[in-house]
Amino acid sequence: MKSITSFIKINGGINMRYLSAEDIKQVLSMKEAIEEDKKALSLYSKGKADIPLRTNLSVEGYGQSLYMPGTTSGEDPTLGLKIVAVYPDNPKSGLPSVPATMITQDAKTGIVNAILDGTYLTQLRTGAIQGAATDLLSKEDAKFALLIGTGGQALTQLEAMLTVRNLDTVYVSDRDLEKAEEFCERVTKEFQKTFSTKFVAVSDPNEVVPKVDIITTVTTSRKATFNGDLVKPGTHINGVGAYTPEMCEIPAVALQKADKIIFDTLDGVLSEAGDIIQALEKALIKKADIDGELGQLVNKDIKGRKSDSDITIFKTVGTAVLDIIVADKIVQKASLQNIGTILN
């Protein structure tokens, strides 16, 4: 069997770079990731990305494995593949519930040039796409937010909200109050030098839904995670966690009340997002109620919030275009800064 070194030399003499989670954190900030995500969805909505719907394999009794390839065209083309799994019981063994590996290729030669920790990349780009939506759709003077779910995606979801809005208080809810309290203690320490926001655990998210300006829900729930009747005018809602037709986070009544409903990608959400699919099947909303894609908003092809009283909703299921654009930026910066491990 040929070694990795032999493989690299045979394939053009290009060294592969391995980038760990810590390497990625050194290279790309959340603010930069948000801008890269905007760029990615802009390209997607312009038709400059070839992103097949991800292949989702169920591993009976354990979890799911997803394969997400993609490429973008233009002056600076990108190419890559992310392999990501969703194994809910992994944390019991001290492992991430969403392990992943990202492989980037030189789009002009097809040669693999980097392998990245896809677990952190997923957390970063998923947090960042919510941050992009919150930046473009929430009220600029938003002060109070609610984060529902404290799993592996929660930290970057929180960081993204804090990056784009000067929040006074973020309420945190989880099915296990103790986990919410522990999460608040952790982020208070982690963000104390960066943000002045207060973090408050709540036993029931509906206690604070009537007073928050932003709701971000990131769970694998199969039923709505909050009461849509309590959503006040002007609220922006991010649905991040439901990524299969069986899952549902956003209540149908909130969709019915919304003035704007925007997706990361129409194809992806309409194929995978249970909260949207179920509402459409039950005729609680119509396809005509959906305003378009976030990339179209970035490109100014559609309009977003019109007034401070608008209720806006953003739904994301993820797309490989986010991974390949963000990963490409990380690899470029890492190469310039000589960060990471060269496999040679």
> The domain that contains 191 carries what CATH number?
3.40.50.720
First-to-last C-alpha distance (Å) of the chain: 16
Residues 228 and 246 in one domain: yes
Q: How far apart are CA 289 and CA 101, in angstroms?
A: 36
DSSP letter at 239 equals E
Question: Is there a single domain that holds both residue 313 and residue 334?
Answer: no
Give, for 191, the enclosing helix (H) or strand (E).
Answer: helix 177-191
Cα separation, 78 vs 108, whole angstroms = 9
Q: How confident is the model at residue 6, as a pLDDT?
A: 40
Q: Residue 85's domain is classified under what CATH number?
A: 3.30.1780.10
202 part of a folded domain: yes
Instruction: Indicate whether 132 belongs to any domain.
Output: no
- Whether residue 220 is found in the same domain as residue 287: yes
Q: Do 165 and 246 fall into the same domain?
A: yes
Task: Let me know whether 309 and 334 are in one domain.
Answer: no
Q: What is the pLDDT along the chain (344 residues), one digit of tens a residue?
A: 344 444 444 445 567 999 999 999 999 999 999 999 999 999 999 999 999 877 889 999 999 998 989 999 988 999 999 998 889 999 999 998 888 999 999 999 999 999 999 999 999 999 999 999 999 999 999 999 999 999 989 999 999 999 999 999 999 999 999 999 999 999 999 999 999 999 999 999 999 999 999 999 999 999 999 999 999 999 999 999 998 999 999 999 999 999 999 999 999 999 999 999 999 999 999 999 999 999 999 999 999 999 999 999 999 999 999 999 999 999 999 999 999 999 87
Residues 89 and 174 reside in one and the same domain:
no
Signed CA dihedral, 124, 132, 237, 284: sign only = negative
What is the structure's pLDDT at 152?
86
139, 173, 288 from 256: Cα distances, Å? 20, 24, 12
Q: 101 and 196: one domain?
A: no
Give the SS3 label for residue 99. coil
* Contact present, 17 and 327 (Cβ < 8 Å): no
Asked whether residue 73 is domain-assigned, the answer is: yes
Rg of the chain over all Cα atoms, to the nearest angstrom: 20
Residue 254 lies in a domain: yes
Please answer whether residues 340 and 18 qualify as being in contact, where contact means their C-beta atoms are separated by less than 8 angstroms.
Answer: yes
Total domains present in the chain? 2
Residue at 7 is within a domain? no
> For the packed helices 177-191 and 154-164, what is the interaxial angle rounded to 10 degrees?
50
Contacts 24+ apart (CB under 8 A), 63-70: 63/87, 63/88, 63/89, 63/90, 68/318, 68/319, 68/320, 68/323, 69/320, 70/319, 70/320, 70/321, 70/323, 70/324
Tokens of 8: 């690299």
Place of tokens 């190469």: 335
Q: 333 in a domain, yes or no?
A: yes
Q: What are phi and psi of 253, to 5 degrees?
A: -65, -30
Residue 153: which domain range?
Answer: 139-318
Give the C-alpha separation, 324 to 342, whole Å: 20
Q: Verify that 194 and 255 share a domain, yes or no.
A: yes
Contact 169, 198 (CB under 8 A): yes
225 and 244 fall within a common domain: yes
Q: Which of 199, 201, 154 is nearest to 178 (CA)?
A: 201
In a domain, 6, yes or no: no
Residue 77 lies in a domain: yes
Bridge partner residues of 105 (DSSP): 79, 112
Task: Give the CA distances from residue 161 to residues 45, 51, 107, 197, 267, in Å, rounded to whole numbers and listed in that order.
Answer: 24, 27, 33, 11, 26
Residue 13 is predicted with a pLDDT of 57
Q: Are residues 74 and 186 in the same domain?
A: no
Same domain for 287 and 171: yes
- What number of other Cβ atoms are within 10 A of residue 37's Cβ? 30
Query: Do 116 and 252 fall into the same domain?
Result: no
Query: What phi and psi values does residue 280 have, to the nearest 5 degrees?
Result: -70, -45
